[in-house]
Amino acid sequence: MARSKVVPESKKALDMLKYEIAAELGLPVGKQMSLNADTEFATELGAIHSSSVKEDYWGHITSRDAGAVGGRITQRLIQKAEETLFSL
């Protein structure tokens, strides 16, 4: 059974958030998203070695680290939703 996305346009925004958080955690993933200032800054400082940044590959990332990225995504989405609700 094929599932359709509720908001298909959200994929790009969620991908950007995923790679932003990965960069904050110092995880070497997502060369295509390296236009993000956090990733560029992390590679310049040496927190992420630019040679180790891989194109959309997460196979070398531990389950714990991948889960941390997912947890932070959830945390930020809830925070944004709460801010929106409280500003109504």
pLDDT in tens, 14-58: 888 999 999 999 998 865 444 444 545 555 455 555 555 555 778
Q: Is residue 4 part of a domain?
A: no
Domain extent, residue 48, equals 10-86
Considering only CA atoms, which of 22, 1, 31 is closest in space to residue 73? 22
Number of domains making up the chain: 1
Q: Is residue 40 part of a domain?
A: yes
Considering only CA atoms, which of 1, 35, 7 is closest in space to residue 19? 35
Q: Is residue 5 part of a domain?
A: no
Residue of higher predicted confidence among 66 and 49 = 66
Amino acid at the residue 52 = S
Q: Is residue 42 part of a domain?
A: yes
Q: Is residue 74 part of a domain?
A: yes
